[in-house]
Structure 1
């Protein structure tokens, strides 16, 4: 163990439909520090339905973000969308060694995966003893079409990075969840917490219980609809509309005529997802809601959600207890914080 090679530190790289986000963390004791970060926008056709459509554009955006961030890391962790992954918990004899377990899973995986094994990337994690039979272990099996994984690895490689880990977005979100616990005091022990991640094209509604995701639902709703309405109403290009949305400078009527209807629609989407969960689950005690994703930065959205849904609501900030390196644009990091949860969960894989 003394001479065991340490895993190289990993850069968390989140490739979403709207942007490439990079994050580098260090850790001293139990405290994390943000060393570098960058977010670079993507054109609307680079990633469609969470699938990479234009690898060269994404590689270029990653290279630009690397330069902007100033990081020197060359190893990365990326993630595929939960909708592109099949997961199943199976049981295996606890007596199997790691090698025997791997061989056994490879032999039996085709029972659980509806694709040819030549077409999938497969991984597993031992969760622990089965509650009904302690001689068996519960094993989480995860599989994705190989192209979903290979496209991300190839884009990062084109940008000069070596991919060491390909995670699942939901697990990266789960990994980062404990960072926002301090924003939710006294609510976590005996109740479920919802996280609504409202991105550019997709809203992912996760419910966590004791730090583990127990429910996920995706809805085709996001900030792109607001950008397109700004574009249509004010005669701007898509890029100009995106900048105006973040930086301001729109007519006075924007708030009442464009932003407010979008805020109302966003609350309705979150409320609908919450009702789906409550009607399909034994859990009836969602204690609080955290808003993540780019749309969580819309001013006052947390208060509106809390008012309409009757749940204590926060805007997720995974950096709230972290120290910050001297190279950072602190204001930009604060603005982007809710959209950095997945990048954060990926960067934390450095410390596995």
Structure 2
């Protein structure tokens, strides 16, 4: 059984390899406080990562090299994440009296019951969550599996860039960990509350429903900021590069907000509304969501949070994961504030350096 979750490393950089860019973040502890030590974002060619899978490892490796150089980090151990339809997770119950080796043997022997892929084609790992339903004789065990080629494509890209792949995590698990950096924004710091964390990436929107600081439901949909770029390209006859440049420089025509941006914001609202419906029908016995937190590259869109709050009737804020962290001058504080919402997954991966501290 390959321990592809990895383990704790004294120092890790978090690397979010998305369809549009490589995002790097390094966190360190200074005294009793976390500090952002380094960060960088490096764009990827459109064909490098497709449908959450690394297609061109050389292009990804080159972007990683540039991000490492740009960030100035000296660390070479890294954590990455996998997600998508080839990632399978399931909570199973096993005897609480089994040793870790015995659990591994039992899971491997019974893996074909839980995983729809041949066992020789997957990377497999597990984590004991705690007693099952308060019983003392059984424990809940999180079983996670991913097609090995997806894991190896990411680790291969890291190695080509001169890094050591120390941890391969689940995207949702890393985002749940990153939510600990958002507790200052949550009502009652999340205790006894239900928060919907909405991460709108380039091609995928991830909704995590966190109740009492624990992930209880997750959903992904094929929707993201790439749609907005394509809408701009169609509306104004621009190339993708021109559309990106105009967005960043805020030089789009006056008609942009009414003709392009507002319909896109409404589409985000539709994705969230659909996610809420799935959540409430999932049998969690949770009757309401107390707050929505918007993350991802699209979260900074002007007017998005109030529009979502009005449509959903739920208090909505923009993620500020580094508000309570110090920021090293090397990490360019003025730039990281601009990109902080897009760095949530990288932050969750970087937090793997501090797995011994549940509250980070």
Fold conserved between structures, TM > 0.5: yes
Contact 2:52-2:84 at 8 Å conserved across structures: no
Per the TM alignment, residue 29 of structure 1 is displaced from its structure 2 partner at its CA by 4.5
**Unmatched runs of 5 consecutive residues or more in structure 1:** 1-5
Contact 2:187-2:193 at 8 Å conserved across structures: no
Match of 2:305 in 1: 302
Match of 1:3 in 2: none
Contact 2:186-2:195 at 8 Å conserved across structures: no
Match of 1:347 in 2: 350
Give the distance between the partners of 1:279 and 1:118, measured in 2 at CA. 35
Match of 2:37 in 1: 35
Structure 1, 217-226 or 166-175: larger mean CA deviation: 217-226
Contact 2:13-2:78 at 8 Å conserved across structures: yes
* TM-score (structure 2 length as normaliser): 0.92
Structure 1, 235-244 or 10-19: larger mean CA deviation: 235-244
**Unmatched runs of 5 consecutive residues or more in structure 2:** 1-7, 356-360
Matched residue pairs, number?
Answer: 347
Give the distance between the partners of 1:278 and 1:103, measured in 2 at CA. 37
Give the distance between the partners of 1:82 and 1:134, measured in 2 at CA. 34
Give the distance between the partners of 2:95 and 2:32, measured in 1 at CA. 35
Match of 1:268 in 2: 270
Give the distance between the partners of 2:271 and 2:100, measured in 1 at CA. 44
Give the distance between the partners of 2:80 and 2:242, measured in 1 at CA. 29
- Does residue 18 (structure 1) correspond to residue 20 (structure 2)? The answer is yes
Alignment of 1:98-117 (within 5 A): 98-117=100-119
Per the TM alignment, residue 79 of structure 1 is displaced from its structure 2 partner at its CA by 0.3
Per the TM alignment, residue 103 of structure 1 is displaced from its structure 2 partner at its CA by 2.5
Match of 2:5 in 1: none
Alignment of 1:245-256 (within 5 A): 245-256=247-258
Match of 2:322 in 1: 319
- Does residue 225 (structure 1) correspond to residue 218 (structure 2)? The answer is no
Q: What does the per-residue CA deviation read over 1:288-312, in whole Å, with 9 as the maximum and x for residues that have no partner?
A: 0000111101112111111111101
Contact 1:187-1:288 at 8 Å conserved across structures: no
Match of 1:129 in 2: 131
Per the TM alignment, residue 14 of structure 1 is displaced from its structure 2 partner at its CA by 0.4
Per the TM alignment, residue 187 of structure 1 is displaced from its structure 2 partner at its CA by 6.3
Give the distance between the partners of 1:339 and 1:326, measured in 2 at CA. 20
SS of the residue 2:85 aligns to: helix
Once superposed, which parts of structure 1, at least 4 consecutive aligned residues long, lie more than 3 Å away?
Answer: none
